[in-house]
Amino acid sequence: MQKPSTRRLAPAILVIIIFGIISMLGDVIYEGARSANGQYLNLLGFSAASVGLVFGLGEFLGYALRLVAGLLSDKTGRHWLFIFLGYSMLIVVAMLGITNSWPFIVTLILLERLGKALRNPAKDTLVSQVAEGQVGVGFAFGLQEALDQIGAFLGPLIFTLVFLVTGKQAIQDYQLAYRWLVVPFVLLMAFLYFAMRKVKSENLIPKPKTRAFEAEKLKPIFWIYTAFTFFSTLGFVNFSLIGYHLKDNALLPDGQITLLYAVAMAVDALAALVVGRWYDRLKQKRGTRMGGLAVLAGIPLLTLLLPFLTLSHSVPLIVTGMLLFGIVIGTHETIMRSAIADLTPFHKRGTGYGVFNSVYGLAFLAGAALMGKFYDLSWMGAIYGVSVAVEALAIVFYLRLRAMSRLQSPPMGEPGNSQP
């Protein structure tokens, strides 16, 4: 009886690693492009307002449509179809290198965000199911986030290398760098095909249950968690505001601002692995599927400190704040996603991830817009006050979540498609 479990462990770990590589290659493509998009559009004559509008609309669509994508992937059970469609749309990023037409460019930018909306709920659903009982969902999402950050670091280097080789930063040089992004795209699709073959050949996920989808609803504890997600994210200080603050007050040179962000992303990657493993160990120690939710307590507590540190005029405090910023982002991308797997049954998980991502994106955008407006008006007290108020609400919902989890959490031995 020991042989089958030993056989299944290795394929599960391999698939998690492959999905991590897929995430890394995806980040090479779109984070590489993101590092150059603003400058490229500036060269093409776009105004600052139009650039902000295009990317703001893209981010909104990318988060809002995840709810629809998650719902459809659950209802049809065709998670792989949504993953392949979503990742295949990354080819539009390389296509930015073949046009100067602004309607075409805007369309390509929006299509890339649509692709992310299509793939993310389905991918998170499959990753969580493969990880359950094998390597732990906390570790799986921690590894995804760590490799994501490697991709986010490597992507911009493609543009840097092209500029170094050509010795120029003209429109044609940007377009050449965009076209080079087809290389990681081809590698990504190859790894994705291999991952699908491996998962199916090893039977690492259950068959979709369409009847169960119709019959069951997401339980109240999931909606309490959703409220916690909204308020804890609403008070988060976006780096665009932090960077603006540093530049506007001449607190650091431009090169050191980008370096500070890179350090925060390195902390993000490390924190993702550490807190992911911690989450899994707490579950094992307590013997329940929701035993790791205790880790969530740190999110509102650390988020509460960020505006006081990162928007100060003391460089040591700002650096400290950016280290905490990295820890919070790493926890968002790891534990907040892992928790969905322990709060939803498999056949409702795409819907759960869709709701989570939509609410997270809405809170992120609303918080950024609100704090940005307050900063323009020099209402620093309002920024601090809003942050304290919303994180206090997040703590209230966290305490309710913990109370409910103690009553409803099934033991670790129960299969992943059971409902807490």
Residue 321's pLDDT band, with cuts at 50, 70 and 90, is very high
1 pLDDT exceeds 70? no
53-82: pLDDT as tens digits: 677 677 778 877 888 888 888 788 888 999
| Mean pLDDT of the 209-216 span | 50
pTM score: 0.72
80-114 burial, b at 16+ Cβ within 10 Å, e below that, comes to: bebbbbbbbbbbbbbbbbeeeeeeebbebbbbbbb
User: Which helix (H) or strand (E) covers residue 409, if one does?
Assistant: none
**Higher confidence at residue 119 or residue 366?**
119
pLDDT of residue 376: 82
pLDDT of residue 49: 59
Residues 6+ apart with CB under 8 A from 352: 70, 218, 222, 340, 343, 344
Spatial distance between the Cα atoms of 231 and 329, rounded to a whole number of angstroms: 15
* Residue 377 burial (C-beta neighbours within 10 Å; 0-12, 13-18, 19+): exposed
Name residue 288's beta-bridge partners: 411
pLDDT of residue 249: 84
Name residue 312's beta-bridge partners: none
Give me the half-sphere count of Cα atoms (radius 13 Å) on the Cβ side of residue 75: 8
378-408: pLDDT as tens digits: 888 999 999 999 999 999 999 998 888 776 6
Task: Provide the CATH topology of domain 217-420.
Answer: Growth Hormone; Chain: A; (1.20.1250)
Domains 1-205 and 217-420 share a fold: yes
Superfamily of domain 1-205: MFS general substrate transporter like domains (1.20.1250.20)
SS3 293: helix
Question: Are the C-beta atoms of residues 286 and 405 closer than 8 Å to each other?
Answer: no
Place of tokens 């965000």: 113
Give me the half-sphere count of Cα atoms (radius 13 Å) on the Cβ side of residue 3: 0
User: Which helix (H) or strand (E) covers residue 168, if one does?
Assistant: none
- What residue segments make up the domains of the chain, in order of their start? 1-205, 217-420
pLDDT of residue 392: 95
Q: What is the DSSP letter of 78?
A: -
340-369: pLDDT as tens digits: 877 887 777 778 888 888 888 888 878 877
Residues 6+ apart with CB under 8 A from 102: 44, 46
7-54: pLDDT as tens digits: 444 577 788 888 889 999 998 998 888 767 776 877 888 775 576 667
DSSP tally for the chain: helices H, then strands E: 17, 0
410 pLDDT exceeds 60? no
Tokens in use for 219? 């339980």
**What is the C-alpha end-to-end distance of the chain, expressed in Å?**
29
User: Which helix (H) or strand (E) covers residue 125, if one does?
Assistant: helix 102-131
155-197: pLDDT as tens digits: 888 888 888 888 877 888 889 989 999 999 999 999 999 988 8
Residue 327's pLDDT band, with cuts at 50, 70 and 90, is very high
- The alpha carbon dihedral of 310, 60, 147, 131 has a sign of positive
**Average of per-residue pLDDT values in the chain:** 81
* Per-residue CA distances from 69 to 59, 62, 282, 412 (Å): 15, 10, 32, 29
Spatial distance between the Cα atoms of 317 and 76, rounded to a whole number of angstroms: 50
pLDDT of residue 252: 80
196-216 burial, b at 16+ Cβ within 10 Å, e below that, comes to: bebbeebebbeebbeeebeee
